[in-house]
């Protein structure tokens, strides 16, 4: 399909707080709200903006590993828990590791495209702080091929991306690469400080670069080629957004300037049993980005902002290259020169991304869509960037596993 | 017998106690790590956790399991390598569970002394009672003449235990600090009759436990309590003196504040006495005193509180029991008045007493900031003391007197042969008591 055969919009985004270390209200020793709380809060947040649950035709919920983090499966059943009026409506749960959230967006979009629904309530959720990080690493390792777990690192995914970072260091130089990764981290925290729901919102460290430099990667304590600041957060959180047809917007009384239109998207799957063909490249992301931009009929230069799946700072650098903003090996320099900062050539992750805002794994894809919706419709509050009329597009890239499940979506403001 | 063989069968006496449980944990982990070495596959390692209290042993096994899990969670990267050849252990949780099992599987909770008859090494952490220790050592020695005894005594001279129990030099002092699993300091007290092999083993064992070893000579109280007991007596006497001019409770508050804030210590002297336990401090003084003909380590005030049942120490959950001071969430809130048997709120006296003491030097920083300032500690202390030196407030006077006394005690420990060097004295106080500066210093000179 080279063009979408029906207009698809997203609107009424809502994010809960991304809860975890960094938030002053987070105390790992005290009881905290569970999965249900986050689903309900996010769902109700969106419903309040679209005239209530009576306007909803279907529900979709993305989640990665509630079955292990919370001993809870069957998450679609929690959609009617959000509101009485959702009872008996069709609901679906999607799973594609950390791209579970974007898969729920895709499911919602497909329902609208198939004309089985005009309004789909879409949610992404994960509640991960139910266990210590060392056990959480086991759960998250499920995003890889289990046959490789035995020989993998204790912190499996940090280990995978540490290997990618190491390959990048070997090819282009470690000091050079880490300058870019450091700037990625600085941007993430500085942007998060502008977003009250962000996990790093209250971060008060003056010298972020100095802090980063002090933390030399140490394979004995963690992984060989990354420090903890290179990593995304362990988060509890949910996000919700409504996916609508034009009829849906009308039904809910949403003006088009308060919605974003989906003008292109791609969903790509790479064989999970294969190692990446080249550790210094994200080939699935590259493919998805190209397909999505082609469908939208635009180039990367038309993008006003992008939400990148920076589960690790190195993934941020590699995605910058996969997007074509920098040649292979030049991504670190591109980022170090602040081209991805909020006032740079292509502002990325304007509320902090996975490193600054947080990474409730199954929620992230929806959170990215909410952020782009906020930016393009002027709802980003203090984090608002300037969207120029000649560049009205935004993009999200949500990745599951090590470049295995990828969803790229291109948005533009609904009235443009 | 090499290191690994020596550690194949070990007994900890008093394993359910505060010190014993820590020693048991560290030893169990060390033994389990040895048992996982490829060359030790198939060998049985056995660690007897001996205690007279069944209830204590039940609690110990729970404590041990929780603590070993924490240890395993911290070294999972290493454990995944150790269990590399175990195809059935895939996830971190598998590996951690197995390690917890492997450690627990070494430990045998027992209540009878006979278990130690097969042990190559016996750690002793029972009550500080010379006769009881002697009796038990001698009983084990008669049935197991090759066993080595590592005693955790903090005050009884080792040669006396050796002679009384007839151990032929098979005993040394291996004095952990509380809590053993956390505190990095170990005082090693050897006697002439020790074999080189035994001393070398003790050093290797301490190194594997990542402890800082300070050798102390075999004089009652050794270095740590040698300083602490005399330092505490100075604080108590100072408060008693001040009580001529003010109520005792206020004097206690005052000295506690001076010894914490002005001396940049983690806690004031009365809080430290409470932490260790009034009963324990009194007991250690009583043990040390007969060995110190020219001194009298004794306090009527400690006796008085002890007789009234005011003992300090910790509850089983680690929280502080009331002693000289009353605690809320670990912080002192009131001071005990032995005349009325009541605690008097600090809030009612604080402003006045602080006013009497005067302002702290402008360059003063709390202990936490000074002690953990990376690289800047010496400069901070230098500046602070240069200011304190020139001050004449009551607080400054008491502080200078206190610091001078601490200095004297430190010097005395060296001149009387308890410590071989002043560095050893300072290391014990810096590492074992977390002081920001050693007692032997030039700050006031």
Distance CA(A172)–CA(A167), nearest Å, equals: 9
pLDDT of residue B316: 65
Write down the pLDDT at residue A107: 98
Structural domains of chain A ordered from first start: 8-132+234-258 (3.40.47.10), 145-232+263-355+387-413 (3.40.47.10)
B342-345, strands of its sheet edge to edge:
B325-328, B331-337, B342-345
pLDDT digits (tens, 9 = 90+) for A135-149: 999 999 999 999 999
Q: With an 8 Å Cβ cutoff, is B444 touching chain A?
A: no
Cβ burial of B94 (10 Å; 0-12, 13-18, 19+) is middle
A348: three-class secondary structure by DSSP: strand
Cα(B162)–Cα(B414) distance, integer angstroms: 24
What is the chain A residue with the closest CA to B81?
A151
Task: Calculate mean pLDDT across residues A302-324.
Answer: 98
Instruction: Decide if pLDDT at B42 tops 70.
Output: yes
Q: What is the average pLDDT across A374-392?
A: 96
Which of B87, B90, B91, B374 has the most A C-beta neighbours within 10 Å, making it the best mutation to test the interface with A?
Answer: B91
Instruction: Quickly list DSSP for A294-329.
Output: HHHT--GGGEEEEE---SBHHHHHHHHHHTTSS-TT
Note whether B73 contacts A132, CB cutoff 8 Å: yes
User: B315: buried, middle or exposed (CB in 10 Å: 19+, 13-18, 0-12)?
Assistant: exposed
pLDDT over 80 at B315, yes or no? no
Which of helix, strand or coil describes residue B150? strand
Q: Which domains does chain B have, with CATH numbers?
A: 3-215 (3.40.50.720), 224-432 (1.10.1040.10)
d(CA B384, CA A276): 59
Of chain A, the percentage scoring pLDDT greater than 90 comes to 97
Q: Using the beta-carbon criterion (under 8 Å), do B77 and A154 form an inter-chain contact?
A: yes
Does position A194 have pLDDT exceeding 80, yes or no? yes
Kindly state the percentage of chain B with pLDDT values over 90: 91
Report chain A's mean pLDDT, rounded to a whole number. 97
pLDDT at residue number B154: 87
**pLDDT at residue B45 in the model:** 98
Say if B344 is an interface residue toward chain A (CB within 8 Å).
no
How much is the average pLDDT of A369-373? 98
Helix (H, G, I), strand (E, B) or coil at A119: strand
Burial class for A108, CB neighbours closer than 10 Å (0-12, 13-18, 19+): buried
* Confidence band for B309, pLDDT divided at 50, 70 and 90: very high
Closest CA to B217 of B362, B416, B1, B13: B416
What is the average per-residue pLDDT within B218-242? 94
Give chain B's mean pLDDT: 95
Q: B93, A135: Cβ pair inside 8 Å?
A: yes
**pLDDT greater than 90 at residue B374:** no
Question: Which of B66, B77, B87, B89 best tests the A interface by mutation, with the highest count of A CBs <10 A?
Answer: B77
B-facing residues of A in 202-221 (CB < 8 A) are 219-221
Residue A221 pLDDT: 86
pLDDT of A208 strictly over 90: yes
Distance from CA of B280 to the nearest CA of A (A): 33
Closest alpha carbon within chain B to A159: B77
The residue count for chain B: 445
> For residue A191, which phi and psi values (nearest 5 degrees)?
-70, -40
Give the distance from residue B373's alpha carbon to the nearest chain A alpha carbon, in angstroms: 15
Q: Is pLDDT of A308 > 70?
A: yes
The model's confidence at residue B110, banded by pLDDT at 50, 70 and 90, is very high
pLDDT confidence of residue A79: 98
Residue with more model confidence, B117 or A1: B117
Higher pLDDT: A414 or B350? It is B350
Could you report the per-residue pLDDT of A338-369, keeping only the tens digit for each?
999 999 999 999 999 999 999 999 999 999 99
- In chain A, residues with a C-beta closer than 8 Å to the C-beta of B73 are 132, 134
Q: pLDDT band for position A220 (50/70/90)?
A: confident
Mean pLDDT value of segment A323-342: 98
Say what the pLDDT of residue B81 is. 93
Question: Which among B77, B87, B92 is the nearest to A138, CB-wise?
Answer: B92
Q: Is the dihedral of CA B242, B243, B247, B248 positive or negative?
A: positive
Contact A283, A49 (CB under 8 A): no
What is the average per-residue pLDDT within B137-157? 95
pLDDT tens digit sequence for A232-245 = 999 999 999 999 99
Contact residues, chain A, for B80 at CB < 8 Å: 153-154
**How much is the CA Rg of chain B, to the nearest whole Å?**
23
pTM (predicted TM-score): 0.89
Please answer yes or no on whether B92 and A134 come within 8 Å at the CB atom: yes
**With bands split at pLDDT 50, 70 and 90, how would you rate the model's confidence at A250?**
very high
| B 60-119: CB under 8 A from A | 73, 76-77, 80, 87, 90-93, 96
pLDDT of A1: 66
């Amino acid at each position: 399909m080279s063009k979408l055969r029906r207009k698809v919009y997203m609107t009424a985004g809502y994010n809960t707080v991304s809860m975890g270390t960094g938030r002053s209200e987070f105390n790992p020793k005290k009881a905290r709200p569970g999965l249900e709380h986050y689903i309900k809060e996010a769902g109700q947040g969106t419903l309040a903006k679209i005239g209530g649950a009576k306007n909803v035709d279907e529900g979709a919920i993305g989640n990665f590993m509630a079955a292990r983090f919370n001993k809870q499966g069957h998450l679609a059943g929690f959609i009617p828990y959000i509101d009485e009026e959702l009872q008996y409506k069709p609901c679906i749960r999607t799973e594609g590791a950390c791209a579970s959230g974007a898969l729920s967006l895709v499911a919602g979009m497909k329902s609208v495209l198939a004309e089985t629904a005009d309004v789909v309530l879409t949610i992404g959720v994960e509640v991960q702080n139910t266990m210590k990080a060392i056990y959480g690493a086991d759960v998250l390792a499920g995003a890889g091929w289990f046959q490789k777990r035995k020989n993998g690192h204790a912190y499996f995914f940090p280990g995978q991306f540490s290997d990618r970072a190491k390959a990048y260091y070997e090819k282009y130089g470690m000091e050079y690469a880490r300058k870019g990764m450091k700037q990625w981290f600085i941007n993430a925290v500085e942007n998060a400080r502008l977003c009250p729901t962000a996990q790093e919102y209250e971060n008060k460290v003056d010298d972020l670069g100095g802090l980063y430099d002090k933390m030399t990667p140490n394979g004995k304590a963690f992984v060989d080629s990354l420090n903890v600041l290179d990593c995304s957060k362990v988060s509890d959180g949910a996000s919700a957004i409504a996916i609508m047809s034009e009829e849906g917007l009308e039904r809910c009384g949403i003006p088009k300037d308060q919605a974003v239109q989906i003008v292109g998207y791609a969903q790509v799957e790479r064989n999970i049993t294969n190692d990446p063909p080249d550790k210094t490249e994200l080939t699935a992301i590259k493919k998805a980005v190209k397909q999505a931009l082609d469908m939208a009929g635009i180039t990367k230069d038309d993008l006003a902002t992008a939400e990148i799946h920076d589960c690790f700072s190195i993934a941020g650098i590699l995605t910058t290259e996969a997007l074509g903003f920098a040649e292979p090996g030049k991504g670190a320099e591109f980022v170090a020169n602040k081209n991805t900062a909020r006032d740079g050539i292509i502002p990325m992750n304007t509320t902090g991304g996975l490193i600054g805002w947080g990474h409730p794994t199954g929620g992230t894809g929806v959170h990215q869509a909410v952020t782009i919706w906020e930016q393009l419709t002027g709802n980003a509050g203090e984090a608002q960037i300037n969207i120029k009329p000649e560049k009205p597009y935004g993009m999200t890239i949500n990745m599951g596993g090590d470049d295995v499940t990828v969803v790229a979506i291109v948005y533009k403001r609904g009235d443009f | 017998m090499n290191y690994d063989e020596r550690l194949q069968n070990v007994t900890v006496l008093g394993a359910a106690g505060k010190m014993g449980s820590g020693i048991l944990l560290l030893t169990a982990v060390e033994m389990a790590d040895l048992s996982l070495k490829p060359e030790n596959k198939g060998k049985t390692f056995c660690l007897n956790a001996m205690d007279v209290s069944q209830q204590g042993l039940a609690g110990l096994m729970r404590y041990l399991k929780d603590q070993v899990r924490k240890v395993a969670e911290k070294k999972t990267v290493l454990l995944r390598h150790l269990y590399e050849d175990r195809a059935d252990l895939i996830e971190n949780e598998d590996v951690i569970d197995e390690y917890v099992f492997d450690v627990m599987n070494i430990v045998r909770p027992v209540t009878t002394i006979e278990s130690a008859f097969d042990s190559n090494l016996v750690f002793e952490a029972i009550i500080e009672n010379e006769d009881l220790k002697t009796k038990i050592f001698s009983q084990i020695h008669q049935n197991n003449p090759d066993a080595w005894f590592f005693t955790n005594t903090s005050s009884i001279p080792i040669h006396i235990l050796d002679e009384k129990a007839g151990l032929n030099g098979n005993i040394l002092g291996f004095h952990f600090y509380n809590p053993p699993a956390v505190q990095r300091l170990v005082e090693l007290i050897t006697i002439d009759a020790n074999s080189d092999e035994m001393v070398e083993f003790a050093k290797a064992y301490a190194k594997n436990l990542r402890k800082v070893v300070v050798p102390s000579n075999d004089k009652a109280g050794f270095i740590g309590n040698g300083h602490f007991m005399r330092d505490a007596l100075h604080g108590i006497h100072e408060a008693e003196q001040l009580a001529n001019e003010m109520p005792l409770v206020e004097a206690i508050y005052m000295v506690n504040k001076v010894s914490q804030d002005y001396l940049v210590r983690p806690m004031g002297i009365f809080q430290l006495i409470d932490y260790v336990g009034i009963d324990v401090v009194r007991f250690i003084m009583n043990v040390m005193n007969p060995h110190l003909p020219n001194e009298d380590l004794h306090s009527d005030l400690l006796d008085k509180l002890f007789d009234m049942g005011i003992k300090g120490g910790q509850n089983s959950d680690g929280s502080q029991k009331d002693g000289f001071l009353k605690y809320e969430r670990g912080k002192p809130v009131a001071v005990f008045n032995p005349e009325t048997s009541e605690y008097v709120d600090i809030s009612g006296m604080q402003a006045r007493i602080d006013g009497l003491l005067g302002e702290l030097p402008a360059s003063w920083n709390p202990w936490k900031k000074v002690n953990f300032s990376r690289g800047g500690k010496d400069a901070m202390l230098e500046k602070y003391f240069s200011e304190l030196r020139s001050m004449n407030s009551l607080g400054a006077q008491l502080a200078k007197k206190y610091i001078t006394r601490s200095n004297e005690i430190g010097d005395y420990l060296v001149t009387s042969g308890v410590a071989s060097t002043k560095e050893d004295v300072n290391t014990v106080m810096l590492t074992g008591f977390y002081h920001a500066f050693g007692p032997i210093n030039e700050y006031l000179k």
